[in-house]
Amino acid sequence: MGAGVAGALLTLRLAEAGVPVDLFTGTQPDDADATSASGGLVRGYEPDPAAAALAAAGIAELRSDPRMRSWADFAEIGSVYVTPVSQPPVAAAVDQVLTRLPGSLRLAEPAELPLRGVPEGAVVVRERLAGFIRPGRLRANVLAALPGLGATVHTRRITAVSGDAVRAGAEGFDGYDAVVVAAGAWTRELVPGTESTTRQIQYGLYPVRVAGLPSFVDETSGLYGRPYDGGRMLFGLSSDRWGLPPEQIRPDEELSARVTACLGERLGLDVQPEQVVASFDCYTEPAGLRLRRVGNVLTFTGGSGGAAKTVLAASRVAARELVPVLEGAR
């Protein structure tokens, strides 16, 4: 249950493997979820080599599968990741990317970027085969394809789950070999004992374009962004609002002011956001979207602010893990 990118893609992988699946979604599309709000920056490089392996495999799939590329509306505009000297060496993660995307990545000098004030010794990871996708559109296209692949999509808000059944108020659906809760930040309400929390994620849309800046993350200032529709750019900084229930997330004006100040310092811009998008994601420790057993159900969540880039590969891994579980249950 749950039809963000996690639930939708896992259902797709299972349906394509011939597994009969029922998918329960809240509202369709759910414009309050992480998938709808997502900035969709995708690149292979992540400091954690395991995350880099998944993210690079996702880009390889976007590049080799025209259907997936068009569903996700992949814009291959490149990416830069500026990593401070204090972080662990980048070599292991770089290897993971180059194995899957040969020739895509090179280490560069900060002077190549229009960013000011990057500390001495920072490493710039430049990727050619990267950019951004539209996770909401990817989800909508997957949901539209599922009935043709034999999966059943039910628009029902689930109120209770167990190992072989789900309930939507008075209505019950049972007899399942496994129940997987992919409800993002709502998972912890439905599955007591889920070790996860929420974190606000917020960005602004600014009426500017910065030449020479593709999708980017600057870990030395925390600033990230990408070109956006309508000649605008999306910019954001990490939020320190942890643990709020999804319905209590509101735009954080102090955070917006910090982004504006950072844009002045790092890019010499004097600009205010036209629009602020405040949403949330489900965070786990260790971070990452994967299947976890909690009591008698499974969860598939933990995007931790990054599942737009890992979901294609993570959903394949989860489906591979699930098929034997389902076969064992029969």
Q: Site for ligand FAD (CB under 6 A): which residue of 1, 113, 142, 153?
A: 1
Q: Site for ligand FAD (CB under 6 A): which residue of 52, 281, 319, 322?
A: 281
Closest CB 249 distance from ligand FAD, rounded Å: 9
113 makes contact with ligand FAD (CB under 6 A): no
| Span of 24-32, 73-81, 104-112, 318-326 interacting with ligand FAD by CB under 6 A | 24-32
For the chain, strand residue ranges (E) read 22-25, 41-42, 79-83, 105-108, 123-127, 131-132, 152-155, 160-161, 165-168, 171-174, 180-181, 197-206, 215-218, 223-228, 232-236, 275-283, 290-294, 297-301
Q: Site for ligand FAD (CB under 6 A): which residue of 186, 216, 228, 235?
A: 186
Whichever of 29 and 84 has its CB closer to ligand FAD, that residue is 29
Which x/- pattern, by CB under 6 A, does the window 189-218 give for ligand FAD? -x----------x-x---------------
Q: Site for ligand FAD (CB under 6 A): which residue of 11, 38, 83, 299?
A: 38
Distances (CA, A) of 6 to 79, 92, 154, 292: 23, 26, 16, 13
Q: Site for ligand FAD (CB under 6 A): which residue of 19, 39, 113, 297?
A: 39
The backbone torsions φ and ψ at residue 248, rounded to the nearest 5 degrees and listed phi first, read -100, 5
| Span of 119-127, 172-180, 300-308, 318-326 interacting with ligand FAD by CB under 6 A | 300-308
Among 323, 321, 320, 285, which Cα is nearest to 301's?
A: 285
Distances (CA, A) of 230 to 206, 208, 237: 10, 10, 22
Find how far residue 7's CA is from the centre of its chain: 12
Q: Site for ligand FAD (CB under 6 A): which residue of 146, 308, 313, 319?
A: 308
Q: Site for ligand FAD (CB under 6 A): which residue of 110, 303, 312, 316?
A: 303
273 makes contact with ligand FAD (CB under 6 A): no
158 makes contact with ligand FAD (CB under 6 A): yes
d(CA 55, CA 125): 15
54 makes contact with ligand FAD (CB under 6 A): no
Nearest 5 degrees, angle CA 318-CA 320-CA 325? Answer: 90
The residues facing 25 across adjacent strands are 155
DSSP letters for 109-135: -GGGSS---PPTT-EEEEESS-EE--H
- Residue numbers at the binding site for ligand FAD (CB under 6 A): 1-7, 24-26, 30, 33-35, 37-41, 135, 157-158, 182-186, 190, 201, 203, 277, 279-282, 301, 303, 305-309
